[in-house]
Amino acid sequence: MLDQLPELIDPVVFAERQSNIKGYLGLQRLERLGTLLFDKTGELKVDLQFYKEGKVPVIEGRIEGHITLACQSCMEALDWSVDKSVKIGMVQTIEQADRLTDEFEPLMVSDEKMSLPGLIEDEVLISLPDFPRHAHKCLHYEPAVKLAEPKINEHEPDNPFAVLATLKNTGDQ
Ligand SMILES: [Zn+2]
């Protein structure tokens, strides 16, 4: 099993060694992504090749998996396929970033070590829409009504017209 990906990596060393990282990353290790998930169980399949493009260490590969997001309309489960190709150049100066060919997405790195799950999480987050939601109209039943009900109940006792209406009814009888 290749389930344990390293936490911290040194991209320069990895690039010099032309290392390949293959494995599965558990979703429970990704806190920021976790806030968007309806179901935090599951994992992402990661396959990343490190090498050097000129002097710049780069990562090329793919992140795949099935995750369950919370639909931003109805807050119910929304199945989502992640299939993100990765092509990152790790630069330390603006000049290096400018020299990098367009196919690579420049990533500023300051320390020699970086969080691998953090990098994978960033890539997945970039690939998600701002407001993931069901393709069909999921909102017009249930949630709107459910949310509105407690508010109405809350206001009823304080509503002076409701009290007047009650008094009127009593008077008529
Ligand atoms: Zn929905």
CA of 150 relative to ligand 1 center, distance in Å? 22
Give percent of the chain with pLDDT exceeding 70: 78
User: 151: Cβ–Cβ under 8 A, 6 or more apart, which residues?
Assistant: none
Query: Could you give the CA distance from residue 150 to residue 82 in angstroms, rounded to a whole number?
Result: 37
Check residues 4 and 66 and name the one with the higher pLDDT.
Answer: 66
Please give the pLDDT value at position 149: 52
CA of 68 relative to ligand 1 center, distance in Å? 12
Query: Could you give the CA distance from residue 104 to residue 91 in angstroms, rounded to a whole number?
Result: 11
Residues 52-76 pLDDT 10s: 998 899 999 999 999 999 999 999 9
Check residues 159 and 45 and name the one with the higher pLDDT.
Answer: 45
State phi, psi for 126 to the nearest 5 degrees: -60, -35
Check pLDDT > 70 for residue 119: yes
CA of 136 relative to ligand 1 center, distance in Å? 8
- Candidate from 95-109, 122-136, 158-172 with smallest mean pLDDT: 158-172
Query: Could you give the CA distance from residue 127 to residue 164 in angstroms, rounded to a whole number?
Result: 56
Please give the pLDDT value at position 139: 80
Check pLDDT > 80 for residue 122: yes
Please give the pLDDT value at position 116: 93
CA of 28 relative to ligand 1 center, distance in Å? 23
Check pLDDT > 70 for residue 92: yes
CA of 71 relative to ligand 1 center, distance in Å? 5
CA of 137 relative to ligand 1 center, distance in Å? 7
Confidence of residue 1 (pLDDT cuts 50, 70, 90): very low
Check pLDDT > 90 for residue 89: yes
Residues 132-144 pLDDT 10s: 999 988 986 555 5
Residues 100-116 pLDDT 10s: 989 999 998 877 788 99
